[in-house]
Amino acid sequence: MRPKILIERLVLGGLVFACLNISLGLAACPPVSATGALHVVAHVIAPTGITAVMEENDGTRRSCAELILPADIQQAPTKNYYLIRSATIDDIVVSFTQTDDNQTLLSPDRVFTCDDAIITGPGDETLLIKCADIDSFPVDAKSVTLTIIRCDN
């Protein structure tokens, strides 16, 4: 066999081998992967004064800022009373979380059930809530979180 033909056949054989490898590789698997990355972002805000939070029946909690329309809370002239205006709240449970200036927890969450809270108000528009145990609620606490939980009844 002449050298030229020998080289030509060797090259030919090599290319056939390479083609077979690629074909088999394509069919057999070589999963090609792609990646993507996204960010998770959240902004934790410092509670100042009294912050109202509503918890829905399904456990979803919404901050006061998201409750501009369904509910509005403000400190009543009497220090132990809070006015909550809502057209949707029928009955409520109130809990207080109290912290001092250094965000130190002064007392654990205390939950006032519907029976504990005194709820009065003209119709559905305004509810007046009074802490059942007013001595346990230091009104001079720097940060108070008030959680309003809608009852099922």
Nearer to other proteins, 37 or 69 (CB): 37
* CA 39 vs CA 36, 42, 43, 153: distances in Å: 10, 10, 13, 41
Q: Which is nearer to other proteins, 105 or 118 (CB)?
A: 105
* Site residues, other proteins (CB under 8 A): 8, 11-12, 15-16, 18-19, 22-23, 25-26, 28-47, 51, 53, 60-61, 63, 65, 97, 99, 103-105, 145, 147
Closest approach of Cβ 126 to other proteins, in Å? 24
Q: Phi first, then psi: what are they for 112, rounded to 5°?
A: -100, 120
Provide, rounded to whole angstroms, the least separation between the CB of residue 6 and other proteins.
Answer: 13
Report, in Å, the least distance between residue 83 CB and other proteins.
20
The tally of CA atoms less than 13 A away on the side-chain side of residue 108 is 1
Are 95 and 111 contacting, i.e. CB atoms less than 8 angstroms apart?
yes
